């Protein structure tokens, strides 16, 4: 049997340029759910636990939360 592990995009963000490109693309969609998902992914990549919780799938963060 083949063993498969879960893929986490956060593991791929090891350069600032990659993160910037990902967030730029997310912002260009104008989809707030996708933007929150992208910010959550970056927070996980940077091991930012408080931000990860604030930007969870079902959250509706305030701009101040995102700005921080």
Give me the residue spans of the domains in the chain.
12-67
Mean pLDDT for back-to-back runs of 10 residues, the chain (68 residues): 86 89 92 86 78 59 58
Q: What is the signed CA dihedral for 59, 61, 66, 68, rounded to 10 degrees?
A: -110
Instruction: Give the pTM.
Output: 0.64
Q: Which two tokens stand for residue 28?
A: 């260009």
- The pLDDT of residue 51: 57
Is the alpha carbon torsion for 35, 63, 20, 58 positive or negative? Answer: negative
């Amino acid at each position: 049997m083949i063993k498969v592990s879960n893929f986490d995009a956060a593991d791929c963000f090891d350069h600032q340029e990659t993160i910037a490109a990902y967030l730029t693309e997310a912002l260009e969609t104008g989809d707030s759910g996708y933007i929150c998902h992208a910010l959550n992914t970056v927070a996980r990549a940077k091991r930012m636990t408080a931000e990860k919780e604030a930007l969870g799938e079902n959250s509706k963060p305030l701009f101040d939360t995102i700005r921080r």
